[in-house]
Amino acid sequence: MSTCFDLQLRESEALSAAYGSDFMWLHQPDNEDDGDEMTYAITFTNGYDDETSATVMVTLPHGYPTNDGAAFPEIVIAECSADLSARSRKLQDAIASNVKAQLRSGYEFPILAALAPIPALISKFAEEWKSEQYKGAAGEPLSTSRAAAAAETKEAKRRGPPILGRRIIFFHHIRSPYKRRCIQQWAKELRLGGMSKIGFPGCIVVEGDEQDVTDYVNMVYKLNWRYMDVRGDEQIPVPPGKELDDMRKLPIEFHEYGKDELNAVADKCREAGLEDLFLTYMQIYRGKESSAKN
């Protein structure tokens, strides 16, 4: 007859086989006389956007599994992405409820069965968060309200003459349809010229009023990225007698390039006289002579 320790070990082996590298031992007892409890963690993503994730830590008491629930595992959401943080307790409670149901049913591996629906629940919570982010007051898209607010406060923030700003930003990847929509919509609302390149690695190039560029970068940063780094920046004061739009090197439009089109971004920057700015994306630095020339 199998002991509780044997059942715990067999279930953990089944979990390791099911989740592969997303399963991690935190404490694996050598035998049932080990005084410490068996503990492991499993990381879940929502299946199509791995920036959404939750890591579940499970600690098994010595009497687990018993169908009377007297020895119930400790289940904790150890960490999660920003889009799940407000619902982490709901997620934790859902897992615990599933485990209780499986224990009552007498299933041999209660946790394995309880975790099966969790990826779908994570996807649901992530979509709810995105919907909340995208909706502003009176049902307006949040992107519009953010950009409008930034535009309204621009003049109040400005000190001195207008400044033309440019940024080139490196991302581990850009894939999420929601984030891609925000990247393009916010640039349009703030009258920024530029482009993005999706896939791995991701890239954004923007040009416009320095205050608008700063606001744009801050808004994009809050979209919860695996990795985002502003690799290059330029600030050029607009001289008397000139308008900011006279200084632009990119048209006031925003284009999205595909996952295999980084060369197209490089070509566009080169054609616009922004080759040095693009090279900072590649972490090649020639100085900022180009900034002084506009």
Query: Could you tell me which residues come within 8 angstroms of residue 47 by beta carbon, excluding any fewer than 6 positions away?
Result: 119, 123
Residue-range definition of the domain harbouring residue 120: 4-132
Rounded to whole angstroms, how far apart are CA atoms 60 and 64? 6
Q: Give the pTM.
A: 0.56
**Cβ atoms within 10 Å of 242's Cβ, excluding its own:** 14
Give me the CATH number covering residue 64. Answer: 3.10.110.10
One domain, residues 143 and 189: yes
Alpha carbon 268 to its chain's center? 27
One domain, residues 285 and 143: yes
Rg (CA), the chain: 26
Q: In the prediction, which pLDDT does 68 show?
A: 64
216 neighbors 192 (Cβ within 8 angstroms): yes
Q: In the prediction, which pLDDT does 233 show?
A: 95
Tokens representing residue 23 in the block: 């399963």
One domain, residues 108 and 247: no
> Under DSSP, is residue 19 helix (H, G, I), strand (E, B) or coil?
helix
Q: In the prediction, which pLDDT does 290 show?
A: 41
Q: In the prediction, which pLDDT does 76 show?
A: 93
One domain, residues 197 and 224: yes
Domain boundary among 78, 103, 132: 132
One domain, residues 88 and 187: no
Give me the CATH number covering residue 257. Answer: 3.30.70.100
One domain, residues 106 and 198: no
One domain, residues 106 and 196: no
55 neighbors 77 (Cβ within 8 angstroms): yes
Alpha carbon 130 to its chain's center? 11
One domain, residues 119 and 65: yes
Domain boundary among 106, 132, 158: 132
Handedness of CA 184, 187, 189, 192 (dihedral sign): negative
Rounded to whole angstroms, how far apart are CA atoms 95 and 84? 15
One domain, residues 164 and 109: no
One domain, residues 270 and 144: yes
Domain boundary among 109, 132, 155: 132
37 neighbors 46 (Cβ within 8 angstroms): no
Rounded to whole angstroms, how far apart are CA atoms 209 and 185? 16
Q: In the prediction, which pLDDT does 152 show?
A: 57
Per-block average pLDDT, block size 10, for the chain (294 residues)?
A: 85 95 90 83 76 90 78 90 88 95 91 94 87 55 54 58 94 85 91 95 96 94 86 93 94 95 96 95 70 43
Nearest to 239 by CA among 247, 251, 248: 247
Q: Look up residue 23 and give its amino acid.
A: F
Q: In the prediction, which pLDDT does 291 show?
A: 41
One domain, residues 37 and 147: no
One domain, residues 112 and 160: no
Q: In the prediction, which pLDDT does 294 show?
A: 47
Q: How many domains does the chain have?
A: 2
